[in-house]
Amino acid sequence: MNRVVVTGMGAVSPLGNDLASTWDGIVAGRSGVGPITRFDATGYRTTIAAEVHSFDAEAHFPARDVRRMDSCAQYALVAAREALRDAALSDEAFADGLGARTAVVIGSGIGGMGTVTEQLRVLIERGPGKVSPYLIPMILPESAASMVAIEHGLRGPNMAVTSACATGANAIGEGVQMIRQGRADVCVAGGSEASVLEIAMAGFGAMRALSTRNEDPARASRPFDRDRDGFVVGEGAGILVLESLAHALARGATVRAEVLGYGTNDDAYHITAPEPDGAGATACMRLALSSAGIEPERVDYVNAHGTSTVLNDITETKAIKAVFGEHAYRLPVSSTKSMTGHLLGAAGALEAILCVCALESSTVPPTMNLEHPDPDCDLDYVPGRARQVAISTALSNSFGFGGHNVSLVFSRYQDA
């Protein structure tokens, strides 16, 4: 079975439109949450979100192409470009034959919903003859994966994974499996979401899933805090370049981390709520550790799903305790959603990238806004400030509506 490594990473996030600015914001504990600017949110229960800012689509694409792509695909393409540059993989290399051995697995939780909303208005106000001929390709969930493949000539397996808020992590895990099994040498994997939309905010608001701390946006996302009242919608993309170790070494690539393990399962309990005892999440983490071939004590850091919702934070804490036992109390656990908001289908991909950054820099990201710990959440959540800690192995959790669970295990690369 092939070993799988990370050789490139790219991001578009509420903290910046590249990985460097995103990671700098995480280490600084900066919040990307603010008042919604995408539309007039008057009358909405929640009027705040973690938007992507200063993203000029026409700086990245010809104006004609901008009209043919939903923002979800635009974010993915920009993050993929950065990841491929980081991996030192050129379109010329793909044209020389590598393209046929390069897979693309990029998912989205809600896909081109912004285009659906916009074109529905056109249909109602101006009639069917004015609907864009690009409507259907713009709204397909696999649009981002297809467009990344087209732009770079990637002719290997290509697909979109959709598993709610576990989407981005599932995409990475499925890419890992392809490489482990020898079906590809390289995989461009991750998730993208353009989710700060009227219909999305109204729907999540109707579920009472969102924070309504509208007067204090920067402090609204507060995972594991007693006073948390819901998650904050975020948007953006996270893309990784995965390679077989043999392929990466043969071309002299810089290895940023190794992917040791991948676990995925389902609670089979409820369409939105997690299983109260955390059994599904517990089993998922154990699957990932088994896939990695390591004992729980080997893990030095957990990037929690940590949504800032009452049920998720408690059940994830229970699951971590069940998996790690006494080690759980020595283990730094943090939620970067306290700064980025919840990127839905892109969350797991961005958080996997942040795990790799944590490994490289020996820096554990903080959980911001943890001011009054919930008595049921009694682990070390790294409150308020990033921490310098030697990290060799990190686990990233992603859980989604429908009971979808994913855990990924990353480690520093070692020769042996």
Query: Catalytic residue among 72, 152, 165, 404, which?
Result: 165
3-state secondary structure of 314: helix
Residue 165 annotated as catalytic: yes
CA distances 147 to 77, 103, 160, 176, 185, Å, are 7, 13, 12, 21, 20
Helix, strand, or coil (residue 88): coil
Measured distance CA(48)–CA(41) in Å, rounded: 8
> How many of the other CB atoms lie within 10 Å of CB of 209?
17
Three-state SS string across 336-380, please? CHHHHCECHHHHHHHHHHHHHHHHHHCEECCECCCCCECCCCCCE
The backbone torsions φ and ψ at residue 241, rounded to the nearest 5 degrees and listed phi first, read -100, 120
Helices and strands, number each (H, E), in the chain: 15, 14
CA distance 277 to 348: 22
Q: Tell me whether residue 284 is one of the annotated catalytic residues.
A: no
Residue 312 tokens, joined: 């998720």
Catalytic residue flag (residue 53): no
Tokens standing for residue 132: 């864009």
Catalytic residue, candidates 152, 247, 284, 342: 342
Pairing outcome for strands 102-107 and 158-159: parallel
* Cα–Cα dist 169/285, whole Å: 13
Please identify which of the residues 152, 247, 305, 404 carries the catalytic annotation: 305
* Phi, psi (rounded to 5 degrees) for 302: -120, 120
Any idea which residues carry the catalytic annotation?
165, 305, 342
